[in-house]
Amino acid sequence: MEGKAKMSEKEMRALVSLLEDKSLRPEIEAKILELGTDTIGMLEEEWEKTFDPELQGYLEDIIHRLQYMLVKERLAGWRQSETDDLLKGMWIVATYQYPDLSLEKLSQELEQLYYEVWLEHNPEAHPYDQVKFMNSVMFSKLKFRGNARNFHAPANSMINMVLETRRGNPISLAVVYMLVAQKLGMPVFGVNLPNMFVLTYKDEREQFYINAFNRGLIFSRQDIDNYIAQINLTPRPMFYEPCSHADIVVRTLRNLSIAFEKLDEHGKAEEVKELIKILEA
């Protein structure tokens, strides 16, 4: 990695093995952190080899710090030049908890979902009917649901877990729905409503809204007007129009931070807040 110390693999392995000596740890740890994420695999191997629980705990801490460094690097790179790739942004969020998660595996799972919906999709149908066909597959056949019972679980913000369990929060379900819809050529986008995340079907002729958390319920602009009035807010264009992929990833991270706070995992909550800063800088 550019700007980081260079060392051969043999030298790195020798360095990692020295962590068994507690007196050398501060110096060795600083060197490993300077070398960066290239050392993660070797640290994991060292963890597997040792039977010392104290050393295992120490190695786990360094591995987590390096993996977190990698998440930050990926997120900064995504913000710089890849925000058109929403799946990649959501994958980066998920790697905070699941560092070995494969982006390719996620892509394959979404491809399978797309295929299931494509079988029922009629691009010539009215937009309402296209959405209804999609709802039938996503929510009746494939059983995607809002996780109302465990709403604040961190897994609800992890796209891999949402695809695996078919349970999620309003934003994660909306993301899965939107990614599939867009692969079908449907103009479906995220809308950043206060306290609620929904979708809009918007082209040059038509605009209406979809609530993925409520099994794809279709509703109108007037319904948003009523909702905004109900929570005593002044209407703003962002409550009606598509938001950016960066907005979606930030909101996902905010949900994740809140989830960790509710579990009293304050260290993780603070780390996630640091990730938000990368996207808002």
Domain count of the chain? Answer: 2
Q: CB of 181 within 8 A of CB of 105?
A: no
Indicate the SS3 state at residue 239: helix
Identity at 130, one-letter amino acid code: Q
Q: Tens of pLDDT along 191-230?
A: 999 999 999 999 999 999 999 999 999 999 999 999 999 9
Lowest mean pLDDT among 38-47, 99-108, 173-182: 38-47
Last residue of a domain, one of 50, 81, 112: 81
**Residue 272, by phi and psi: left (phi above 0), alpha (psi -120 to 50) or beta?**
alpha
Measure the CA–CA gap between 65 and 1, rounded to whole angstroms. 17
30-33: which pairs have CB atoms within 8 A and are 24 or more residues apart? 31/5, 32/62, 32/66, 33/62, 33/65, 33/66, 33/69
Please tell me whether residues 67 and 96 are part of one structural domain. no
Q: Is residue 2 part of a domain?
A: no
Please tell me whether residues 106 and 68 are part of one structural domain. no
Pairing state of beta strands 167-168 and 145-146? Answer: parallel
Lowest mean pLDDT among 25-34, 74-83, 207-216, 243-252: 25-34
Q: Tens of pLDDT along 45-56?
A: 888 888 888 888
DSSP 84: T
Please tell me whether residues 135 and 64 are part of one structural domain. no
Query: Torsion angle, CA of 37/30/61/159, rounded to 10 degrees?
Result: -30
Last residue of a domain, one of 60, 81, 102: 81
pLDDT greater at residue 26 or residue 213: 213
Is the pLDDT at 2 greater than 70, yes or no? Answer: no
Q: CB of 207 within 8 A of CB of 201?
A: yes
Residue with tokens 């877990």: 161
Please tell me whether residues 58 and 127 are part of one structural domain. no
Q: CB of 66 within 8 A of CB of 47?
A: no
Q: pLDDT-based confidence at 1, cuts 50/70/90?
A: very low
> Domain of 132?
86-280
Token duo for residue 92:
């980066």
Query: Torsion angle, CA of 47/50/53/57, rounded to 10 degrees?
Result: -20
Last residue of a domain, one of 81, 106, 135: 81
How many residues are there in the chain?
A: 281
